Amino acid sequence: MKIVLSWLNDIAPVGDDAVAVAAAMTRLGIQVEQIRRVGSTVDGVITAKVLRTERHPDAAKVHRVWVDAGDGTQRHVWCGAFNMAAGDVVPLATPGTEMPDGRVIEPRPILGIDSQGMLCSASELGLGDDHSGILILPADTPLGLAYGEALALQSEVVFDVDLTRNRPDCWGHLGVARDLGAHLGRLVALDRSGISPNGTAISASVDLVDGERCQRFTTLVLSGVVVQSSPDWMARRLGAAGMRPINNVVDVSNYVMLELNQPNHAYDLETLGGGGFRIRLAREGETITTLDGAVRSLTSDDLLICDANDVPIGIGGVMGGLDSEITDATTVVVLEAALFEQTAMTRTMNRIGVRSEASGRFERGVDPYGMPLAQRRFVELLRETCPDLVVHDGAIDARHESMPDEVRPVPTRVSQVNRILGTALDADAIAALLDPIGFTVVGRAGDALTVDLPSWRPDSTAEIDVIEEVARHYGYANLGQVVPNSTMHGRLSPRQERRRALRQVLLGHGLDEAITDSFFSRSELIAAGLSSDAIRITNPLVVGEDLLRPSMRAGMLKAIAFNESHRSFGVSLFEIGHVFPPGDRSGELPDEYEALAVAFSGQDARAAMALWRELVAAMGFGARVDQSLIPAGLHPTRSATLSVGRDAVGAVGEIHPEVSEAFGVSERVAWLELDLSRLLAAGPKIAQWKPTSRYPSTDFDLAFAAPESVPAEKIDKAIRQAAGALLVDLALFDIYRGEGVSSGSRSLAYRLRLQALDRTLTDAEVADVRTKIIAATTKLGVRLR
Amino acid sequence: MIEEVRHAHEAALEQVATALTLADLRAVDSEVLAKSGTLGSLKSRLGSLAIEHRKTVGQAINQAIEAVESAADERRRELSAAALQGRIAAERLDLTEITARPRRGHEHLAIQAWERLEDVFVGLGFQIAEGPELETDFYNFEALNMPRSHPARSGFDTLFTDYNEDGTVLLRTHTSPVQIRVMQTVEPPIYMIMPGRVFRRDTPDATHMPVFHQLEGLVIDRSITMAHLAGTIDAFTKAFFGGDFTSRLRPNYFPFTEPSAEFDIQRPDGTWIELGGCGMVHPNVLSAAGLDPEEWSGFAFGFGIDRMARERHGVDDIRDMYSNDVRFIKQF
């Protein structure tokens, strides 16, 4: 919304200091995005006369224009608009000019021919929205002058404001001025009474057929209208507010809307069929050609404004029909101002996809009781150009019973205001804050106040809404800052602690943390060896990327490939995040769990296993490494499922070479994936002290020739079991395949350390352990070397 | 015999002085001082001397032995020191000749900010709640005072799923649904934050990502006021950014809080940054969660974790944070 400072000052004396006014608006919750000065001179833009124009055979969209800026030299510019002729005076932005939108004009050549500036449209000069052609100035405008000076233009300060949903009133200058006036102690004293007729009775009839959808429809007939241009001040303000001036009647209609947030429409009574209106729901498939020339097909949920002959002339609250405009010949107008039911009107607006100044206002909520004031302002403003304007008796005010009440009292407790805000305000202080903005305190009984809510704040309905108004006008900055004394004790949950411990282990392992994509195409999931039976986004941001990740594998591979493409190899990444498995779709919500994924590029499966072992030791994780169960997409001879009971809780190994290739990853990628919802669920085990021995230890090595079919893990387990409690350390320190070891076997060399807590071990004890180990391993088909 | 002692003494001192190694010195022990040595053996011959000479010669031998021992000790220290010095000199390293350094993992920038914020709030006496990323329409909107037709819903650019036919399962657009789940399951008083990943149908640009991180806070207790909200905002922003940052609230609108505010922080240089939204929990939201708004009051706030990280580290473009480019990751 564009708010014009001079307009505010017409309503309440808020002052000329734009920065101070903007700061006050921000304090009130009317957020000022930008302060602009429009309509004044742009330095470097001067008036120039068109000497001649010429097409260039190789340029279809631009032509060449020669102008004289009053100094007798011919200047050449390229121009994309064709609406000027020799003799026209136009604004010329000379090279180096900084335009209001921040663009700097440069002598940019086209087809090798320089342009010594740019001819400007009204919108390029910040003079409203008209960019349909170059601004043609009056023929007698002196040349070579700053164009603003030449035209004696006055500037306007405009605030671009971002309005919240609860302030529909601020879509009119009156709403902003009222709030500011109250805040600054410069009150708006507003007469909300309507207009008195001074002419004969002429009515424009209203037949409210579907009144639930149009709760109020008012008409007022005015004659003595002479259609002409608006006065400069009005055209300037409309332009500053972003609306193009058209003629005095349309301009006044728009002006009233921008001032009072009351959309309205002026019809030519002569051409209005039957001289009246009929408001009804459309028939399914009924069509209307709207103002913008589009043929709209309607549903039985859309509201039509028809003339008295039932011919559609507009879509209620959304847009007028093509033939509803007044013309230069119009002398008698019907001023219509109505109230449309918000939610249904919004449905129509969204269905048709048309958002107009009017429909946007109806969507947010207009004042159901603002019509009389709108009519009076319309008449006052139109009289400036039509002094003989006659206001006819016989105004119609059709209302439906569903119209909101004009008086809406809300019980408000002084104690509740203070309870929520932490203030110590009394009834008088609260009333002093509320009354100036139309929240009128009409009753007081001790703690209980009765506050009449203003009709222009349809968003306000309850005590808490009143409390918010008190807070706004008391000032958020005055509420103070108190840190509450928490009655909980601050801590991480056991699971959150475990997650942090896990992250520390991963970071300590040298892994970098990634956050990879969430959405994938079907083909990407298939390429990663994942199920494409994933949760689907029905309105994806990117067409085709509509599947929610069932695993982080595809995202991690994309990240590795991205890094490879920037010549970063050997990248090791981990991610902790939610994934969404297909599931059986039976619960209220889809399955979803927290997972860990680790990818080591340039490393083989042993890197993943080493990390898994580290996590087992550090986190107390436990699972069976089942190399007989290979997860899809992983390397068939270098991967395993991590199982607990019958459930898979993860996978370890390497990415399948085909999968890597599909993602453009050239390196080998070791892979570990864990279901953290399972593995972090167990509470943290707090490490318990074990005594360390004061007696000497004995070390010895054992090397076995073990068939490839016997996993090292089994030998490991057999050694531990056979050695019993005396074994304090066991390490596989050498693996050898080749000469001296029969093919189909490999040599595994272990170093063992034996130690007792209470004595020095004798040679006999050590020999006994050694014998037991050899006996146990021999049973596995493993031979001591 | 005195003459013999003198000769042996001199010879031994000469041997000590010319010893080049510790082994040479050990030879002095066996060749001179031992019973069979040049000086040691003289002792055994004392008995053959006349009684009146014994004392004098004995003293002379003892003095000679002491002198040789002392000279040998001195020489031993010299040789040890020289040996150590030689070794140290030979072991010289150029410490800047480094071929590889240990790899250190880097935590994601958003997660660094996330954990830092958690720590700040734990310090303020808060606990941390989490919830699902796929949510029902009820938790994401309805329970937050945004029924089906509420116009504010259009501001959320929600991503919907095909989970069930009526489109009621969506990717949460904020972590507010966790607030509702907390209010339904935890008896007040509640002092909790809800960090998490959220989703919007936003085209990525320098300041937006469709997937980003948010932290919301919820306090419900008896006699919680808006001053407590302002105090909490000020406390955590100071703890995160530094004591020379200040904060302010200014009116805004959210369907689930009233009064609502936007909170800004001011850098030491006086410039303002818009950080997030907050407000007093709307009575309808309390009621929907089964809490009596006459007994309990509270506040809620929310902001982008990524935004905090960007502000702290001067990251201009949020897309860099999600590129997973190690050249970015390793900077932090």
In this prediction the pTM is 0.82
The highest-level CATH class for domain B109-329 is: alpha beta
Residue owning tokens 């309808």: B284
Assess whether A594 and A510 both reside in one domain. yes
Interchain proximity A588–B136, CB inside 8 Å: yes
- Mean pLDDT across A1-8: 95
In a domain, A482, yes or no: no
Q: How far is A339 from chain B (nearest CA, A)?
A: 18
Chain B interface disruption, residue of A301, A483, A504, A578, most B CBs within 10 A:
A483
Assess whether A307 and A234 both reside in one domain. yes
Residue spans of the domains in chain B: they are 2-90, 109-329
In a domain, A404, yes or no: no
CA–CA separation, A318 and A335 (whole Å): 17
Quick: pLDDT tens for A586-604: 888 999 999 999 999 999 9
Name the residue in chain A with its Cα closest to that of B297: A420
Stretch 19-58 of chain B: residues touching chain A, C-beta under 8 Å: none
Q: How far is B2 from chain A (nearest CA, A)?
A: 55
Tell me if chain A has a CB within 8 Å of the CB of B168. Answer: no
Assess whether A23 and A128 both reside in one domain. no
CA–CA separation, A590 and A583 (whole Å): 7
ipTM: 0.86
CA–CA separation, A754 and A761 (whole Å): 8
Take residue A739 and report the two structure tokens written for it. Answer: 């000469």
End-to-end CA distance of chain B: 85
By C-alpha distance, which of A261, A291, A259, A272 is closest to A219? Answer: A272
Q: Is the pLDDT of residue A152 over 80?
A: no
- Mean pLDDT across A551-578: 96
Assess whether A302 and A175 both reside in one domain. no
Which ranges constitute the DSSP H helices of A490-604? Answer: 494-508, 522-527, 553-565
Interchain proximity B106–A513, CB inside 8 Å: yes
Interchain proximity B325–A568, CB inside 8 Å: yes
CA–CA separation, A19 and A180 (whole Å): 13
Q: Is the pLDDT of residue A228 over 90?
A: yes
Q: What is the pLDDT of residue A281?
A: 96
Interchain proximity B225–A489, CB inside 8 Å: no
- Mean pLDDT across A217-243: 92
**CATH number, domain containing residue A717:** 3.30.70.380
Quick: pLDDT tens for B164-177: 777 789 999 999 99
Cβ neighbours of residue A723 under 8 Å, at least 6 residues apart?
Answer: A730, A752, A754, A769, A772, A773
Which chain B residues touch A492 with a CB distance below 8 Å?
118, 122, 127-128
Lowest mean pLDDT among A26-30, A58-62, A471-475: A58-62
Residue among B103, B108, B253 whose CB faces A165 most closely: B253
- Provide long-range contacts, Cβ within 8 A and 24+ apart, for A741-745: A741/A705, A741/A785, A742/A705, A744/A707, A744/A708, A745/A705, A745/A706, A745/A707, A745/A708
Assess whether A423 and A567 both reside in one domain. no
Stretch 269-308 of chain B: residues touching chain A, C-beta under 8 Å: 280, 282-283, 297
- Mean pLDDT across A755-779: 95
Q: What is the pLDDT of residue A127?
A: 64
Judge whether B143 and B289 are in contact, CB under 8 Å: yes
**CATH number, domain containing residue A334:** 3.50.40.10
If DSSP codes are grouped into helix, strand and coil, which group holds residue A587?
A: coil
Which chain A residues touch B272 with a CB distance below 8 Å?
none
CA–CA separation, A510 and A505 (whole Å): 9
- Give exposure, A560-592, as e/b (b: 16+ Cβ within 10 Å): bbbbbeeebeebbbbbbbbbbbebeeeeebbbb
Interchain proximity B326–A512, CB inside 8 Å: yes
Q: How far is A477 from chain B (nearest CA, A)?
A: 7
Lowest mean pLDDT among A122-136, A254-268, A610-624, B293-307: A122-136
Q: How far is A307 from chain B (nearest CA, A)?
A: 31
Interchain proximity B161–A535, CB inside 8 Å: yes
Q: Is the pLDDT of residue A437 over 90?
A: yes
Question: How many residues does the structure list for chain B?
Answer: 332
Interchain proximity B134–A589, CB inside 8 Å: yes
Amino acid in the structure at residue B267: R
Interchain proximity B125–A488, CB inside 8 Å: yes
Which chain B residues touch A580 with a CB distance below 8 Å?
134
Q: Is the pLDDT of residue A131 over 80?
A: no
| Average per-residue pLDDT for chain A | 92
Residue A683 per-residue DSSP state: P
Distance of CA B54 to the CA centre of its chain: 78
CA–CA separation, A363 and A80 (whole Å): 38
* Other beta carbons within 10 Å of A631: 22
Which chain B residues touch A578 with a CB distance below 8 Å?
132-133, 197
Q: Is the pLDDT of residue A129 over 60?
A: no
Residue A313, strand partner residues: none
Peptide bond into B259 cis (omega under 30): yes
CA–CA separation, A612 and A625 (whole Å): 10
Give me the phi and psi of B215, to 5 degrees please.
-130, 125
Interchain proximity A484–B232, CB inside 8 Å: yes
Assess whether A426 and A465 both reside in one domain. yes
Sign of the CA dihedral A756, A762, A768, A774? positive
Assess whether A79 and A179 both reside in one domain. no
Domains in chain A, number: 6
Which chain A residues touch B232 with a CB distance below 8 Å?
483-484
Which chain A residues touch B258 with a CB distance below 8 Å?
464-465, 467-468
Cβ neighbours of residue B177 under 8 Å, at least 6 residues apart?
Answer: B131, B135, B139, B140, B143, B144
By C-alpha distance, which of A389, A398, A366, A399 is closest to A276? Answer: A398
Which chain A residues touch B256 with a CB distance below 8 Å?
none
If DSSP codes are grouped into helix, strand and coil, which group holds residue A22?
A: helix
Domain span including residue A718 = 698-784
If DSSP codes are grouped into helix, strand and coil, which group holds residue A698?
A: strand
Inter-chain contacts counted by CB atoms under 8 A, chains A and B? 243
Residue A296 per-residue DSSP state: E
- Mean pLDDT across A717-746: 94
Tell me if chain A has a CB within 8 Å of the CB of B199. Answer: yes
Chain B interface disruption, residue of A512, A533, A677, most B CBs within 10 A:
A512
Residue among B125, B169, B252 whose CB faces A29 most closely: B252
Residue owning tokens 């594998």: A553
Angle between helices A494-508 and B109-123 in degrees, nearest 10: 140
Lowest mean pLDDT among A11-15, A125-129, A771-775: A125-129
Judge whether B178 and B129 are in contact, CB under 8 Å: yes
Assess whether A214 and A339 both reside in one domain. yes
If DSSP codes are grouped into helix, strand and coil, which group holds residue A500?
A: helix
Assess whether A112 and A164 both reside in one domain. no
In a domain, A228, yes or no: yes
Name the residue in chain B with its Cα closest to that of A506: B105
Which chain A residues touch B159 with a CB distance below 8 Å?
537, 539-541
Which chain A residues touch B326 with a CB distance below 8 Å?
512, 563, 568, 571
CA–CA separation, A467 and A413 (whole Å): 9
Assess whether A358 and A234 both reside in one domain. yes
CA–CA separation, B248 and A92 (whole Å): 46
Q: How far is B215 from chain A (nearest CA, A)?
A: 15
Give me the phi and psi of A678, to 5 degrees please.
-80, -50
Residue owning tokens 């909790």: B192
By C-alpha distance, which of B178, B184, B219, B209 is closest to B196? Answer: B178
Quick: pLDDT tens for A774-783: 999 999 999 9
Interchain proximity A479–B230, CB inside 8 Å: yes
Q: How far is B95 from chain A (nearest CA, A)?
A: 23
- Of A374, A399, A424, the one marking the end of a domain is A399
Q: What is the pLDDT of residue B41?
A: 86
Assess whether A636 and A512 both reside in one domain. yes
Distance of CA A531 to the CA centre of its chain: 32
Q: How far is A611 from chain B (nearest CA, A)?
A: 14
Which chain B residues touch A511 with a CB distance below 8 Å?
105
Tell me if chain A has a CB within 8 Å of the CB of B325. Answer: yes
Give me the phi and psi of B114, to 5 degrees please.
-55, -50
Name the residue in chain B with its Cα closest to that of A347: B149
Q: Is the pLDDT of residue A768 over 80?
A: yes
Chain B interface disruption, residue of A479, A495, A542, most B CBs within 10 A:
A479
In a domain, A483, yes or no: no
Judge whether B130 and B178 are in contact, CB under 8 Å: yes
* Other beta carbons within 10 Å of A67: 28
Which chain A residues touch B190 with a CB distance below 8 Å?
488
CA–CA separation, B328 and A235 (whole Å): 53
The C-alpha torsion from A36 through A40 and A46 to A51, rounded to 10°, is 100
CA–CA separation, A665 and A559 (whole Å): 10
Residue among B122, B250, B282 whose CB faces A464 most closely: B282
Q: How far is A28 from chain B (nearest CA, A)?
A: 6
Residue among A420, A507, A536 whose CB faces B105 most closely: A507
Q: Which residues in chain B show pLDDT less than 50?
A: none
Residue among A28, A464, A512 whose CB faces B330 most closely: A512
Assess whether A58 and A7 both reside in one domain. no
Distance of CA A76 to the CA centre of its chain: 45
* Other beta carbons within 10 Å of A9: 17
Take residue A145 and report the two structure tokens written for it. Answer: 């002058």
Stretch 203-242 of chain B: residues touching chain A, C-beta under 8 Å: 203, 210-211, 219, 221, 223-228, 230-235
Residue among B161, B231, B248 whose CB faces A537 most closely: B161
Quick: pLDDT tens for A12-46: 999 999 999 999 999 999 999 999 887 666 778 88
CA angle A154, A155, A156 (to 5 degrees): 130
Name the residue in chain A with its Cα closest to that of B253: A164
Residue A72 per-residue DSSP state: S
Judge whether A315 and A352 are in contact, CB under 8 Å: yes
In a domain, A282, yes or no: yes
Judge whether A103 and A121 are in contact, CB under 8 Å: no
